[in-house]
Amino acid sequence: MILADALSRRYGDRLAIRDVSFKARPGEILGFLGPNGAGKTTTMRILTGFLAPTAGRAAVADFDVVRQPLEAKRRLGYLPETLPLYDDLTAREYLGFVARLKGVDGRKIGDAIDRAMTLCGITDVADRLVRNLSRGYRQRVGLAQAIVHDPPVLILDEPTSAMDPRQIVEIRNVIKGLRGSHTIILSTHILPEATAVCDRVIVINEGRVVAVDTYEQLAARLRRSEKTLVRVARPDGRLTGRLAALRGAVHVTPGEGTGEVVVEAGLGADLREEIARTVVEAGAGLLELRPLAMSLEDVFLRLVTHEEAAEEPRA
């Protein structure tokens, strides 16, 4: 339903994203998880046709966003990071304007507005000027705008920012309610948000996709092991065997470069001393030895890993 194929985007000399590829399957909610400046907004802007990619290809509902922009945009609802609201209109007028802009048939506009307002819980404020709404309600009007034409694909850039915990739960339920009938990508830098709503998570950091998986598997992959990279001058099969025989070693695999071996140990085990001794005794010529910090782990460390307000509910 949504395809990103080797997307790159340059701002001047800076590469904001490079080689970003992923697919969203029909009906799933895909989380786009990454710290500030990771490139989430940039990627979403390319998917919506707001920005052109420097390289690569993006498609929405099988329509290329650069070559068939109107077809792609017709099937797309988009909540930008900064809410695109007209302060001088009421919520209802605003949604009417958007519905027309999105090409909703004139006779169905009234129903479309009512449906979107009911889903997002803004019926009460329908006739108030958008200017006078609270930040959380403005966010809801923004979300209503994205779904008013009932598009099959939704791209939501931080849909729950600036909401209070109760509202966050409500909006997440709205989004979950759209699962199945809609394909959704939502970005967040809050780990529990991805856990709470998404079927699968794309972790992005410094413009690169670091992992794509379900949250449970990502977490499992993170916790499973401690990895150490060894680089030697004269690698041979016997060294691998000796390393694998070390106490605590779980797995020994060849690394990416020549002469590299990755030793995987149980969580908390530090095998560096033993590894060094083994390599030297084998006469393989130790060149390098360092713990392998997984970039996924780095990313998770930089994420907001808890929701302060949500964790301290006031009685």
* Minimum CB distance to another protein, residue 97 (Å): 6
Among 34, 39, 49, 159, binds another protein (CB under 8 A): 49
* Minimum CB distance to another protein, residue 269 (Å): 50
Stretch that binds another protein, among 42-50, 114-122, 206-214, 229-237 (CB under 8 A): 42-50
Among 14, 36, 82, 315, binds another protein (CB under 8 A): 82
Among 8, 41, 48, 160, binds Mg ion (CB under 5 A): 41
Rounded Cα–Cα distance for residues 104 and 72 (Å): 15
Which residues make up the interface to ligand ATP (CB under 6 A)? 11, 14, 16, 34, 36-42, 81, 189
Asked if 40 and 17 count as a contact pair (C-beta separation under 8 A), the reply is: no
Spatial CB neighbours of 218, under 8 Å, sequence gap ≥ 6: 201, 203, 211, 296
With CB atoms as reference, the residue minimizing the distance to Mg ion is: 41
* Minimum CB distance to ligand ATP, residue 174 (Å): 22
The reply on whether position 138 binds another protein by CB under 8 A is: no
> Residue 211 corresponds to which amino acid?
A
Asked if 236 and 251 count as a contact pair (C-beta separation under 8 A), the reply is: no
State the binding partner of 189 from another protein, Mg ion, ligand ATP, none, CB within 5 to 8 A by kind. Answer: ligand ATP
Torsions phi, psi of 141, nearest 5? -65, -40
Q: What angle do CA 207, 30, 158 make, to 5 degrees?
A: 70
**Which is nearer to ligand ATP, 279 or 299 (by Cβ)?**
299
The reply on whether position 73 binds another protein by CB under 8 A is: yes
**Which is nearer to ligand ATP, 92 or 189 (by Cβ)?**
189
**Which is nearer to Mg ion, 144 or 204 (by Cβ)?**
204
3-state secondary structure 186-231: EEECEHHHHHHHCCEEEEEECCEEEEEECHHHHHHHHHCEEEEEEE
**Which is nearer to another protein, 63 or 300 (by Cβ)?**
63
Sign of CA dihedral 50, 54, 57, 63: positive
Number of residues that bind another protein (CB under 8 A): 32
Among 8, 145, 188, 278, binds another protein (CB under 8 A): 145
* Minimum CB distance to another protein, residue 288 (Å): 43
**Which is nearer to Mg ion, 71 or 81 (by Cβ)?**
81
* Minimum CB distance to ligand ATP, residue 92 (Å): 30
State the binding partner of 34 from ligand ATP, Mg ion, another protein, none, CB within 5 to 8 A by kind. Answer: ligand ATP
Asked if 93 and 100 count as a contact pair (C-beta separation under 8 A), the reply is: no
| Closest to 182 measured CA to CA, from 98, 75, 73, 71 | 75
Among 26, 62, 67, 86, binds another protein (CB under 8 A): 86
* Residues at the contact surface with Mg ion, assessed by CB under 5 A: 40-41, 81
* Residues at the contact surface with another protein, assessed by CB under 8 A: 11, 45, 48-52, 70-71, 73-74, 76, 78, 80, 82-89, 93, 96-98, 100-103, 106, 145
